[in-house]
Amino acid sequence: MPWTKPTRPKAYREFKELWPVFGHNTVRKDLGPEVRSSLDSIGVLWTTTGVIRFIKVRAGEAIGPATIWIGVTPETLSIKVTHTTVHSCMGRIEKLGMGDVRVESQESNFTRSAGASFKPGSDPT
Task: Please report, for the domain that includes residue 70, its CATH number.
Answer: 3.30.300
Residue 27: its pLDDT value, please? 59
Q: Is 77 exposed, middle or buried (0-12, 13-18, 19+ CB in 10 A)?
A: buried
pLDDT at 14 over 80: no
Q: Which helix (H) or strand (E) holds 80?
A: helix 79-95
pLDDT at 8 over 70: no
Flag whether 80 is in a domain: yes
Flag whether 51 is in a domain: yes
Flag whether 85 is in a domain: yes
Task: Identify the residue with better confidence: 36 or 12.
Answer: 36
Tens digits of residue pLDDT in 67-122: 999 999 999 988 888 889 889 989 888 888 887 888 988 888 887 777 666 666 66
Flag whether 123 is in a domain: no
Total-model pTM: 0.70
Residue ranges making up the domain that contains 91: 23-107
Flag whether 31 is in a domain: yes
pLDDT at 7 over 80: no
Q: What total number of domains does the chain contain?
A: 1
Residue 17: its pLDDT value, please? 86
